[in-house]
A and B are shown apart, each in its own frame.
Chain A
Amino acid sequence: MGEVIVVTSGKGGVGKTTTTANLGTGLSLLNKKVVLVDTDIGLRNLDVVLGLENRIVYNLVDVVEGNCKLAQALIKNKDNANLYLIAAAQQRDKNAVNEEQMKKLTAELKEQFDYVIIDCPAGIEQGFKNAIAGADKAVVVTTPEVSAVRDADRIIGLLEANEMKDSQLVVNRLRPDMVKRGDMMSADDVVEVLAVNLLGIVPDDEDVVVATNRGIPLAGNGKSLAGQAYMNICRRLNGEQVPFLDLDTKKGFFSKLFSK
């Protein structure tokens, strides 16, 4: 029996879809069978981040409306046989699916997969309700900015109201250089304010943009700091004790290398 994890944030643009893609890629590299479900109906993007945009035949709405069998909507990843995607419908809206249908779908997927990871849309309306309906636990993504943390706090409250008490936090796009000179909140600051468990810290990394350009997620790419950070997050989700990356010393190393 697998586990259903919803990746959510409240605010848009903080990296939910990128995080979902990397959790899927990383966990499948750990030999887990994973399915990613894009619930952002009308504004789908997980397909492009994974490089699977040309392979979509059936989508989430087709499955819940019974236009196809579940197996037909499972899009197999290019190089990783353990990773599948159920894409969102692009021509419909969030009301095309309801919470009961999502509960039924995730229950079915749990039978076949070790991890069912739900990419939640921004906002707290129907799309959010659908995304969390069948989830066992939540990964909340934020960036170290006032607006994103505020929305994360609201989301954590709503998750608690829906019986999901132990949300885990990913602090995304952290800039160690800015934290060092006091111009950005540290991951510790964010954790203190939100009072949740920290799952991981992902540094702001140009490689993330390059990875999205190519449609190949970074997780498992040892050359990239963000790739290592995502892989560590996957290991922690999978129950391993992994120390947090020392982003500061890495930065020190690079600044030493490139400084005059």
Chain B
Amino acid sequence: MKLSDLFKKKSSGDVAKDRLKMVLVSDRANCSPEIMERIKSDILEVLSKYAEVDKDQLDIHITQMETDESGTNSVPALYANIPIRNIHHTAK
């Protein structure tokens, strides 16, 4: 907490807006399985221009990432682990 916060209380309207933004970040990140599949196939399509990837070992999902050391604030993040078998020497 900052020193100035002790003297100036945040208005409830601003509190509402901040809380709303936070809750929407996680609401919006909960994307449907169909959208997740589309994200996966689009990423694969782009990557396959440059490299041969191991589709069976592929792992792409939404996770939470902490934004500060204390771990109190977290944002959704796209986690992707894509094993590469071979890099193409020239882009297709």
Check B13–A182 contact: CB distance below 8 A: yes
8 A Cβ contacts from A193-246 to B: 193
Check A150–B24 contact: CB distance below 8 A: yes
8 A Cβ contacts from A108-157 to B: 145-146, 149-150, 153-154, 157
B8-24 near A? 1/0 per residue, CB < 8 Å:
00011110110111011
Q: Which residues of B contact A189 (CB under 8 A)?
A: 13, 17
Q: Which residues of B contact A149 (CB under 8 A)?
A: 20
Check: B68 CB closer than 8 A to any chain A CB: no
Q: Which residues of A contact B11 (CB under 8 A)?
A: 181-183
Check: B28 CB closer than 8 A to any chain A CB: yes
Q: Of the candidates B13, B19, B28, which one forms a contact with A184 in the assembled complex, judged by CB atoms under 8 Å apart?
A: B13
Report how far A153 CA is from B11 CA in the complex, Å. Answer: 23
Check B13–A183 contact: CB distance below 8 A: yes
Check A193–B20 contact: CB distance below 8 A: yes
Check A193–B24 contact: CB distance below 8 A: yes
Check B17–A185 contact: CB distance below 8 A: yes
Q: Which residues of A contact B17 (CB under 8 A)?
A: 185, 189, 193
Report how far A184 CA is from B14 CA in the complex, Å. Answer: 8
- Dominant secondary structure of chain A at its interface with chain B: helix
Check A146–B20 contact: CB distance below 8 A: yes
Report how far A157 CA is from B12 CA in the complex, Å. Answer: 27
Q: Which residues of B contact A153 (CB under 8 A)?
A: 24, 27-28
Check A150–B20 contact: CB distance below 8 A: yes
Using CB atoms, name the residue of chain B closest to A183.
B12
Check: A179 CB closer than 8 A to any chain B CB: yes
Which of B13, B21, B28 has the largest count of A CB atoms less than 10 A from its CB? B13
Report how far A145 CA is from B16 CA in the complex, Å. Answer: 8
Q: Which residues of A contact B19 (CB under 8 A)?
A: 146
Q: Which residues of B contact A178 (CB under 8 A)?
A: 13
Report how far A153 CA is from B28 CA in the complex, Å. Answer: 9
Report how far A139 CA is from B22 CA in the complex, Å. Answer: 25
Q: Which residues of B contact A182 (CB under 8 A)?
A: 11-14
Using CB atoms, name the residue of chain B closest to A182.
B11
Q: Which residues of A contact B14 (CB under 8 A)?
A: 182
Check B28–A157 contact: CB distance below 8 A: yes
Can you list 19 contacts pairing A with B, beta carbon distance less than 8 Å? Answer: A145-B16, A146-B19, A146-B23, A149-B20, A150-B24, A150-B27, A153-B24, A153-B28, A154-B27, A157-B28, A178-B13, A181-B11, A182-B11, A183-B11, A183-B13, A185-B20, A189-B13, A189-B17, A193-B21
Binding site for B on A (CB under 8 A): 145-146, 149-150, 153-154, 157, 178-179, 181-186, 189, 193
* Closest 6 A/B residue pairs (Cβ): A182-B11, A182-B13, A183-B12, A146-B20, A189-B17, A146-B16
